[in-house]
Amino acid sequence: MARGVTKRAILDRPAIAWAIAALWLAYLVAIPIGYMTVDSLTDDGLTLAAYVDFFEDPKLRTAMRNSLTVAAGVAVLSVLVGAPLAFGVARTQMRGRSLVSAAMIVCLVSPDFLLAMAYIALAGPNAGYFNQALRAVFELKTESGPLNIFTLWGLVLTALPHGVSYFFLALVPALRNVDPALEEASRVQGAGPIETIRDVTLPLMRPALLSGALLAFSGSLAMYGPPHMLRLNVLTISIRESLVRLDFKAASAASMVLILMSLAALVLYRHSTRQAERFRTVGGKSFSERAGAEGRIAAAFTVLGIVYVLAVLVVPYGGMTVISLMKSVGMGFSAGNWSFDNYRAVLGDPAVRKAATLSVSLAAATATLVTVMGFVVAYVVIRLKLRGRWLLDYMSIIPLAVPGTALAIALAVVYLNPPLNALGLYGGFGILFVAYLTRFITFGVRTSQSSLIQLSPEFEEASRVGGASGLKTVALITLPMMRQALVYAWLLVFVLALPELSASIILKGIHTQTLSTVLLDIWNGNGGLAQACAFGMTMFASVGLLLLIAAAIAKRASGGLRIGT
């Protein structure tokens, strides 16, 4: 540090903020992805052999096709299911709007593999309770079906609530923030409701629509738990199998293919929404208090909302609760087959308590650093007019296109080989922390970016004109105005990190089992279905409770946190 340079002066230098952001992203994103890219392309010299092997392997080709089919199916169905629900909540007087919004948050928070467990118990072809009921009600002359959860469609169904939640949560605020004058002008000019939606509302919604669909698509590409439980051949499973065979070349190539598939969707999204200025709501004015449609339209949306909540929450988690209380799953609903033993076994298990401590710690630490550094990166990208900020922008969004399984392979490759193996991170807390930071950094950056875009720079410019330094302006003007967004980012990352599975399953060590890996282990025979359901319900209830506490804290801190409602 040069003599005589004050702390304020250093912090006022945009280049230093740029350098901090660049180093942060380089360490978390560029090094692992770059290392894995090189690893997949080299073997005693430059070669495409790993990719040739990948595309020559029929099992891997099937896995790729299955991954794409499921992701596309989830994205399309998320739009078809999520759009009417979002419209109903944002623009009608349907009953149960808060219930639907809460259900979306709960679905997002609860791990997808819990739903997979529940749907297997309900829609397993031979013994699924829902199938048994259907066979009895319709007097079907078969011992199997009619539903079969162990199919690609079953996987789509299992992943759908997550996709719908992403889509819904992206769309509702956008629907509310559209200036009603624009739609009213269209109606005054003689356009009908359909034309108005098509020509005015939908174009304004494009970033939110694409953002929601992209998240549903990439989230489905990245999922590990449900295909593992349903025993379906998708790329994340193939990657893990390659690692189990210690075939790092195959794992790297498969990971790169998966990343490229996700990146393609991301590029498409960026291309469609590159003119961010068009979506700015100057001064943060809200239009949420407009009167919504009533009568039959609202009633129809009410029915849709109730059916959705029943299908994704009440029935599956109700079913899991019932199973969790069974002494023996094989004895079914017989008298005397009920107890809390499974809960006692789970709660009394030191391994579960240790995993809970680790998961909460990891999630809290990740949420904190991701929120802080997310703001720094976003500020550099949006506010500081420096060369190369587009690079930071792209680097910060890349993790969204990197499924946890692929990221874990990249980190394993990096930290098992010189020079970074000297850090001794592999198999410990450190490598999980790095993985979590990388996985969720996009959420921190994007949340801050969205908030900064909507926050008119005139406020900060006025502060600077008034003589305040850049740091003081950030501290006194920018951060307070972004408080709600930052609290939201922390909460979002915390609740998403808590049940993280796809990276943890590969990077866990004996002392670093997380809640999700322990649950998957119990499902995989280390306790059985009833115990897994008891654990799942405990996890579900704990996460829900944490969410309520966090939301209450956020409400006090920011004067009210609104997510969807």
Partner 1 sequence: MDKKARVRLLAIAFVGALVAQAPAFAQQRLTIYSAYENSQIAPLTKAFEAKNPGVAVDHFRQPGEELLATIELELRARSPKADVVGLNDASIAYLQRRHDAFEPYAAKDVDKARVEMRSLQNVFTPAFVNLYLIHYNTRKISEADVPKSWAELADPKWKNQIAMADPSSSQSVQSFVWFIADHLGKSDPAKFGWDYFKRMGANGVHLESSHGTIRDLTVSGERPIGINLLANAQTAKNRGEPTSNIWPREGVPGELSAFGLLRASKNKELGKMWLDFVISPEGQGLMPASLGGAPVRNDVAYKYPDGSSLDQVKIIPVDSAFISENKRTQARKFHDAVGK
Contacting residues toward partner 1, per CB under 8 A: 59, 120-121, 124-128, 144, 150, 228, 231, 233, 241, 243-246, 327-331, 349, 351, 357-358, 360-362, 364-365, 368, 412, 415-416, 421, 424, 426-427, 429, 509-512, 521, 523-529, 553, 556-557
DSSP 422: G
Closest approach of partner 1 to the CB of residue 509, in Å: 7
Determine the Cα angle at 387 with ends 385 and 391, to 5°.
105
Residue 429 contacts residue 358 (beta carbons within 8 Å): yes
Closest approach of partner 1 to the CB of residue 521, in Å: 7
Measured from the CB atom, the residue of 100 and 537 that comes closer to partner 1 is 537
Residue 128 contacts residue 47 (beta carbons within 8 Å): no
Measured from the CB atom, the residue of 279 and 523 that comes closer to partner 1 is 523
The CA distance from 104 to 83, in Å, is 13
The CA distance from 2 to 11, in Å, is 13
Closest approach of partner 1 to the CB of residue 550, in Å: 12
The CA distance from 125 to 115, in Å, is 16
β-partners of residue 92 are: 293
Closest approach of partner 1 to the CB of residue 535, in Å: 13
Residue 502 φ then ψ, to 5°:
-65, -35
Closest approach of partner 1 to the CB of residue 85, in Å: 32
Residue 239 contacts residue 255 (beta carbons within 8 Å): yes
Closest approach of partner 1 to the CB of residue 318, in Å: 18
First to last CA, the chain: 49
Residue 202 contacts residue 183 (beta carbons within 8 Å): no
Measured from the CB atom, the residue of 159 and 352 that comes closer to partner 1 is 352
- Find where tokens 């915390």 sit: 494
Residue 4 φ then ψ, to 5°:
85, -5
Measured from the CB atom, the residue of 47 and 526 that comes closer to partner 1 is 526
- Find where tokens 């099992």 sit: 59
Measured from the CB atom, the residue of 358 and 381 that comes closer to partner 1 is 358
Closest approach of partner 1 to the CB of residue 421, in Å: 6
Measured from the CB atom, the residue of 344 and 556 that comes closer to partner 1 is 556
How many angstroms from the chain centroid is the CA of residue 33? 20
State which H helix or E strand residue 519 sits in.
helix 515-523
Closest approach of partner 1 to the CB of residue 114, in Å: 16
Measured from the CB atom, the residue of 102 and 507 that comes closer to partner 1 is 507
DSSP 42: B
Measured from the CB atom, the residue of 467 and 525 that comes closer to partner 1 is 525
